[in-house]
Amino acid sequence: MSPLSADSQLGVARTVKALRARVDAWRSSGQSVGFVPTMGALHDGHLSLVRMAARLSDRTVASIFVNPTQFAPHEDFSSYPRNEAQDLEKLQSSGCHLAYAPPPEQMYPPGFQTSIKVEAVSQGLCGESRPHFFGGVATVVCKLLNQVRPTVAVFGEKDFQQLLVIKRMVRDLDMPVEIVGAPIVREADGLAMSSRNAYLSTDERATAGKLNKIISSMADRLSEGADASDVLNDGRMALESAGVSRVDYLEIRSETDLTPVLYGPIDPAIPARVFIAAIVGKTRLIDNWPVRRA
């Protein structure tokens, strides 16, 4: 067996020391390293990120860590789906070389007291109803990037605001990594894949499948020059008749700095997206859709 084929087996590291031993060996032999942070319960959306990282670099690392600091006490940290054995099989067959699955005390040892706050871009949208969320995300991603020290890290556009928060943090803190966004992977009916889709009952799943159709038709109308406030009103009514329990937000925002568009036709010079967070049954789902530009 050649050294390369031995190394094509997925390794698993649980400590920073074990992780660094593998990654440093790759880096010192001149190989680039791609990284995909996840919370596990992996689906094809996550795996598309792993495949993209594998195309962009010589070696690929994916982390599996359900980060307690991005959940509020009333949220689903303890019930969040966990299935490490299956996740490792999926990573192995997607071309990942190393899974990093640290226990909580490896990430947050006793005495831990540092946090990262990315200001403006963390506000509004998910930052409004989950005020703790982006602080937890930025801090854990900063730690993971420092631990792995990848050349490139891939994040999904499914969590578009998160992608902008991470890009801002990396720029502001001069972190030596390239952040790449990857397109949203969807189920056959267009529902954005999410580990939380597993919570949906059959009826809720049918309602969830309508969210993407509502925001994509809103984006179509906007690209045809419709007034943003009309489109938002019609979108809210469509969500109500689709049977969502509650709309957390439905907004049109610039995709560069998240400036809201409240009324009037979209400025074709500014790329914009429709953003949604809706509660279906008890499950909070998010999605977004780009407004096509002429």
Q: Which of 261, 256, 183 lies closest to 218 in space, CA to CA?
A: 261
Q: Which of 12, 101, 185, 242 binds ligand AMP (CB under 6 A)?
A: 185
- Residues 97-156 contacting ligand AMP, CB under 6 A: 155-156
We find the least distance from the C-beta atom of residue 29 to ligand AMP, in angstroms, to be 28
39 belongs to the binding site for ligand AMP (CB under 6 A): yes
DSSP assignment of 126-156: HHHH-TTHHHHHHHHHHHHHHHH--SEEEEE
Nearer to ligand AMP, 92 or 226 (CB): 92
We find the least distance from the C-beta atom of residue 281 to ligand AMP, in angstroms, to be 19
Q: Which of 46, 51, 59, 253 binds ligand AMP (CB under 6 A)?
A: 46
Rounded alpha-carbon distances, angstroms, from residue 96 to 8, 34, 142, 202, 244: 8, 9, 21, 33, 37
Residues in contact with 160: Cβ distance below 8 Å, sequence separation at least 6, in sequence order = 181, 255, 273, 275, 288
* Residue 46 falls in the annotated catalytic set: yes
Q: Which of 182, 232, 266, 272 binds ligand AMP (CB under 6 A)?
A: 182
We find the least distance from the C-beta atom of residue 156 to ligand AMP, in angstroms, to be 2
**Residues 43, 46, 74, 97: which is the catalytic one?**
46
Cα end-to-end span (Å), the chain: 54
CA distance 160 to 29: 34
What kind and span of H or E run contains 253?
A: strand 246-254
- From the list 51-59, 90-98, 112-120, 179-187, the region that binds ligand AMP by CB under 6 A is 179-187
Binding site for ligand AMP (CB under 6 A): 38-39, 45-46, 48-49, 155-156, 158-159, 182, 184-185, 192-195
Could you give the residue numbers annotated as active site? 46
